[in-house]
Amino acid sequence: MPPLRERRDDIEVLARHFLQLAAGEGLPRRQLSVEAGQLLARQPWRGNVRELKNVIYRLALLAREDMIDAESVQALLSPDTAPAAAGDDLSGGGEGAVIGQGGIADAVSRWLAAERPASGTIYEAAVAAFERPLFSEVLRETGGNQLRAAQALGINRNTLRKRLSELALDPEEFTRRS
């Protein structure tokens, strides 16, 4: 199968499909504006379809509006936040919390093999390993704005504040300074 950059006509269709998949997996239901789809199609995709899927899932999670516009896409794809090529690792900050080509399922398998949590503690250990980098990433994407972070996560702002305190995460560290 040719790389994504050679299948530009498929990109917008795939992006809309991935938004539907994301909604089916519990992420907010989003629509893609025509301009946003065109912008995605013009990108120099270095990776494969999985790279596009990861970008679309991030857009679904972090978009402020139900309609994802070209500005939202551009903000996500700007050089300082450009998507990694397939095969690049995205570190979640904890030992064993590396997501690469195989996606989350493979990362979970690797994490279980590396961490070997005791039976009866796997869920608690996995949530603890995943929650801190998740909250850190969402806070980074929202510039430390707790209300937007809570909305993106689909939780109450007070719940977010409680978890941030328990995880010793300071939202001020994520505020954008000009």
| Stretch 39-61: mean pLDDT | 86
**Cα–Cα distance for residue pair 91/65, rounded to 1 Å:** 28
Question: Which CATH architecture describes the domain 109-174?
Answer: Orthogonal Bundle (1.10)
Give me the pLDDT at residue 124, please.
Answer: 83
Residue 141, both tokens: 């994407």
pTM of the model: 0.48
Match domain 8-77 to its CATH number in 1.10.3720.10, 1.10.520.20, 3.90.870.10, 1.10.8.60: 1.10.8.60
Ranges of CATH 1.10.10.60 domains, the chain: 109-174
**Cα–Cα distance for residue pair 44/124, rounded to 1 Å:** 40
| Nearest alpha carbon to residue 19 among 47, 44, 42, 40 | 40
| Stretch 138-165: mean pLDDT | 92
Q: What type of residue is 22?
A: A
Rounded (5°) CA angle 10-56-106? 100
Neighbours of 137 (CB within 10 A): 19
Q: What are phi and psi of 51, to 5 degrees?
A: -60, -45
Give me the pLDDT at residue 102, please.
Answer: 53
Contacts of 164 (CB under 8 A, 6+ apart): 135, 146, 170, 171
Three-class SS of 91-139? ECCCCCCEECCCHHHHHHHHHHHHHCCCCCCHHHHHHHHHHHHHHHHHH
Residue 147, both tokens: 């209300």
Ranges of CATH 1.10.8.60 domains, the chain: 8-77
Using alpha carbons, list the distances in angstroms from residue 36 to 8, 30, 39, 72, 174. 14, 12, 5, 8, 26
Give me the pLDDT at residue 19, please.
Answer: 95
| Stretch 30-45: mean pLDDT | 93
